[in-house]
Amino acid sequence: MAYIGVGEWVTTPRRRPPQGELTPTERTVNRALSAARAPVERGIARLKSWRIFRHARCSPNRMTSFTKAVLTLERHR
């Protein structure tokens, strides 16, 4: 909800209007956004729990490759 009102190029969930309900189309769009966002949120949560990312002593460039690999694996899980 932090991105509401930032512009047309950012797709955000629709809020329920006061004293009203969302249309079926708006509910479908909200579900689709949730479904697309959930794997990314799970992947980031997984990265935060991995010790290698907290105590790494290698080049940040290599950590980027590790991060991409972990997120790819998590996405295809």
Q: Which two tokens stand for residue 47?
A: 């990265």
pLDDT at 6: 65
pLDDT at 1: 53
More confident of the two residues 57 and 6: 57
Rounded Cα gap, residues 6 and 68, in angstroms: 28
DSSP codes of every residue in the chain: -TTTTS-TTS--PPPPPTT----HHHHHHHHHHHHHHHHHHHHHHHHHH-HHHHS--S-HHHHHHHHHHHHHHHHT-
Phi, psi of 36 (to 5 degrees): -75, -30
The overall pTM is greater than 0.75: no
